[in-house]
Structure 1
Amino acid sequence: MPLLLTPLRQRVSSLQEGVFYGWWMVAGGFLIQTVLGLFMFHAFGFYVERLEEEFKWSKTTFSLAFAMTRIESGVLGPIQGWAIDRFGPRIMIRIGIATTGIGFILFSFVDSVTTFFLTYFLIAVGASMAGFVTLVVAVVNWFEKKRSMALGLMSAGFSVGGLLVFLVVLAMDEFGWRATSLVAGIVILIVGQIVASFIHHRPEDRGETIDGEPVPEAPARPGLAGGPVVIPASEDFTTGEALRSPSFWFISIGHGAAVLIIGAFMVHLVLHLENLGYSAFISSLIVLLMTAFQLVGQIGGGYLGDRLNKRLMLAGCMVGHVVALLLVTYSAGFWMIVLFAVINGIAWGTRGPMQQALRADYFGRRDFGKIMGFSSLIVMFGMMSGPIIAGAMADAFGDYERGFTVLAVIAGLGTIFFAMAGPPQHPTGPIWYKRWPLVRRLTFQERLA
């Protein structure tokens, strides 16, 4: 593989001249997000439909499988975050891609609930290692001023995968879900390993700077008659400092409330639309429409996130999630399904990269992997609870109306938590002085006075 990649690396090296390498990182993340989004996340509901038809398993079975993988993601999150910060994203992507690809190949041989759980768990572990968290950390390390836009463009690969999901549906109809899974595993292995070879941890590793800008000269020390003086201090929080900040918890809980809905949709949306009388093909078109507007949200939200208040925009996205969920729950016509897809797509696309940019803005990039890892411990409760609540109540009452309504009420709280997540105060400054004859830091005792 290294010998085969040498000509490709040389071609990329010639193309990248004059282009900040951070944008190549965004492109690599985009491709990985596209592949994982296409074959795993967006296609999972269609796999569920085929498996339910073939094996007659309950909706709760699929919900528990999905929840099990979310527990894995949450529990391993801090370890994964530490590993990314310590060893860099490239090795994590290589291991994750290999695990995911092998998992899909084995998934094509599923013949029982046990083998379904085991292979899906393997796929989920690999996708977690190679996917969103790892890629976000990689991009955050390269950008500051254009961080929201970079994350939005990278995350757009997930939406592009959704736009292509109809190809997976057609493949399942033509060749069966087993052959589709086998091919998916092979494609993931090839594309993922190629892209991983171009991923670098930090711009300093390549002799570059964050945002690709020249290192600014140190400003001259202002005179005593000058205005306010800021004592330079690291803006990056340690993991412990971030965990002691209320904003860390508010953002994480808000994130968990959002994925409460997203998790339920990933498992149950296709089945819910089927209950409403729509075919698998129409359902795939709804998913296609939703992901098209998710793409709009990712790019538009990335642009606006570098210019407007991210915290208030996130609160608005939560309102959109709740409204969309109620529309699809109490649908009285196809137009409400379409409106659901538009609103939820924009809210999802805007919120995803923006909440990661807000975390990076607040806590810096030094321990960002570990901070995201600990956040995943909180977020996992939302991601695993949504499918379980929706699936269990659907099995009990025969439809998704009650379950989706409960999720809408709980998710509405996310609006409040995002609105409360103001900028954290760094424990070590900076401190402003206006009329001090000498420049110095306040002592700990003076801070408490």
Structure 2
Amino acid sequence: MPNLRRSRNIFYGWYLVGVSSFVLMLMSTTVFQGVGTFFVALERNFGWSRTTLSGAFALSRAEGALLGPIEGFLVDRLGTRRMVVIGYFIMGLGFIFYSQIQEVWQFYVAYLAISLGSGVGGWIAIVTLINNWFSRRRAFAMSLAVSGVQLGGLLVPLMAWGVETHDFRMTSLGIGVVLILVAVPASRIMRNTPEDMGLLPDGAAAPRAGRPTSESPSEEVFDMTPRQALRTVAFWVIAVARLTSVVSIITLSVHLIPKLTDSGISLITANFILTLYTIVAFFSGFVAGYLADRTSKTLVLFVCMLMQALAMGILAVTDTMPMAIVFAVLWGAGFGGRVPLLTAIIGDFFGRKHFGSILGINMVPSNIAMIFAPLFAGFMFDLRQSYFIPFITFAIMGLIGTFVILFARQPSSPAEPT
């Protein structure tokens, strides 16, 4: 691997931001942003109901709720490098099996394998890496890394083209091979902590023997254990805000494309809406991260979550292309800022040492909610041939979470040692 530690005086953490963005882009395209495209293809090929399709997603979230704290614990113990290799290898094998499915149970097995791999080597592993390498510029670095989620959305039209021209089987097989081939080279560039390279967060040089480490402006004041974090109000405020906003995000990852195609929009045109909100979210994340590092993460989060809730309400009550564009702009602006900031604030409040474990536990309530949210939307559509009830319900939940986040405050330093 080339020596990038001091190359051109660029802090190595910024190289890791780039690698992290690329890895998240691959996961986002295939596992998150592209779910709706694959579900439309399966519905057309096999005639499976949307409740059936949503059921696989619900089971994957149940898996996430059970394994999330374990995955966070393993990231803290084994490091991101190992977890990325393991996770992307599992994802790749899952997609290869996905390309051969014939029955519903095979689809469920493939989707659970893909979900397991993305849980092991995806979100928690990558954001833990960024949290370890940055402190003062954490929100901006997190926004840059998480921009990979938005970049993944830009590749979904290409994936939709592959599904429509070469069918979902060849597309899935190609995705599986790419994920396996990328895992090892990407992980070799990664370093779990700046201390592994004689650095501190944000690029400060490691202190010499006898020199007080408190002189580093980037160093954390304290690191909470998961038990200490669970006792704080801030932990539960963040958990509620995450739950009430993520139900919309996860539901739209499954049902946005079907919702738009039901309105008479072609599959490729529907993916234009996804691309539009992705572009807006891409730039919104940078702006939100920049502002959050210089003002208040809580207030910036409030604005982002408010836009996201309003966008969900618009989607619930309209079916026209112009309003779909309005939805895309509002949703992208809110979603782009909400995702990195609601993660970065965990690092600000609870430190670096147990970040993965605390994030994994904090995500359990939202993972449980994600079991039922897309399933509820699919069931209501099958029952009423409309998404109005689930979408307006999630819009109201989003508004509640928007005001809950205002109660997030920096916890006091724990009395017991960590």
Counterparts of residues 36-55 of structure 1 (less than 5 Å) = 36-55=27-46
Counterparts of residues 367-406 of structure 1 (less than 5 Å) = 367-406=354-393
Distance 1:335 1:31, change over 3 A: same
Residue number among 74, 84, 93 corresponding to 1:102 in the alignment? 93
- Give the residue type in structure 1 aligned to 2:23: I
Q: Does 1:79 align with 2:34?
A: no
Q: Distance in 2 between matches of 1:196 and 1:43?
A: 24
**Partner of residue 353, structure 1:** 340
Counterparts of residues 53-132 of structure 1 (less than 5 Å) = 53-132=44-123
Residue number among 157, 167, 170 corresponding to 2:158 in the alignment? 167
- Give the residue type in structure 2 aligned to 1:88: G
Distance 1:234 1:123, change over 3 A: same
Alpha-carbon displacement from aligned partner over 1:277-325 (angstroms, at most 9, x marks no partner): 1110110100000111110121111111101211122122221111101
**Partner of residue 268, structure 1:** 255
Q: Distance in 1 between matches of 2:369 and 2:184?
A: 31
Q: Distance in 1 between matches of 2:69 and 2:37?
A: 31
Counterparts of residues 144-223 of structure 1 (less than 5 Å) = 144-214=135-205, 218=212
Cα deviation, residue 125, structure 1: 0.5
**Partner of residue 435, structure 1:** none
- Give the residue type in structure 1 aligned to 2:143: G
Counterparts of residues 16-35 of structure 1 (less than 5 Å) = 16-35=7-26
Distance 1:386 1:251, change over 3 A: same
Q: Distance in 2 between matches of 1:296 and 1:239?
A: 33
**Once the two structures are aligned, what percentage of the paired residues are identical?**
32
Residue number among 402, 411, 415 corresponding to 1:424 in the alignment? 411
Decide whether the 8 Å contact of 2:313 with 2:395 is kept in 1: yes
TM-score (norm 1): 0.88
- Give the residue type in structure 2 aligned to 1:309: S
Residue number among 261, 266, 285 corresponding to 1:279 in the alignment? 266
Q: Distance in 1 between matches of 2:87 and 2:42?
A: 25
Cα deviation, residue 218, structure 1: 3.9
Q: Distance in 2 between matches of 1:382 and 1:294?
A: 24
Q: Distance in 2 between matches of 1:197 and 1:275?
A: 45
Residue number among 255, 258, 265 corresponding to 2:242 in the alignment? 255
Cα deviation, residue 362, structure 1: 0.6
Cα deviation, residue 411, structure 1: 2.3
Superposed CA RMSD: 2.0
The residue matched to 1:164 in structure 2 has which SS? Answer: helix
Greater share of helix: 2
**Partner of residue 443, structure 1:** none
Deviates more, 1:38-47 or 1:238-247: 38-47
- Give the residue type in structure 2 aligned to 1:406: T
**Partner of residue 6, structure 1:** none
Q: Distance in 1 between matches of 2:333 and 2:301?
A: 12
Cα deviation, residue 234, structure 1: 4.7
- Give the residue type in structure 2 aligned to 1:143: F
- Give the residue type in structure 1 aligned to 2:125: T
Decide whether the 8 Å contact of 1:258 with 1:382 is kept in 2: no
Decide whether the 8 Å contact of 1:262 with 1:383 is kept in 2: no
Distance 1:429 1:306, change over 3 A: farther
Alpha-carbon displacement from aligned partner over 1:238-288 (angstroms, at most 9, x marks no partner): 111101001101101101111100011011001111111111011010000
Q: Distance in 2 between matches of 1:421 and 1:362?
A: 9
- Give the residue type in structure 2 aligned to 1:281: I
Cα deviation, residue 39, structure 1: 2.1
Alpha-carbon displacement from aligned partner over 1:402-428 (angstroms, at most 9, x marks no partner): 121112122221112211111112233
Decide whether the 8 Å contact of 1:148 with 1:353 is kept in 2: yes
Deviates more, 1:406-415 or 1:273-282: 406-415
Q: Distance in 1 between matches of 2:326 and 2:220?
A: 48
Deviates more, 1:311-320 or 1:367-376: 311-320
Q: Distance in 1 between matches of 2:382 and 2:283?
A: 35
TM-score (norm 2): 0.94
Q: Distance in 2 between matches of 1:16 and 1:88?
A: 24
**Partner of residue 413, structure 1:** 400
Q: Does 1:324 align with 2:311?
A: yes
Q: Distance in 1 between matches of 2:196 and 2:340?
A: 25
Decide whether the 8 Å contact of 1:151 with 1:357 is kept in 2: yes
Cα deviation, residue 214, structure 1: 3.4
Decide whether the 8 Å contact of 2:64 with 2:367 is kept in 1: yes
Bigger CA radius of gyration: 1
Decide whether the 8 Å contact of 1:263 with 1:384 is kept in 2: no
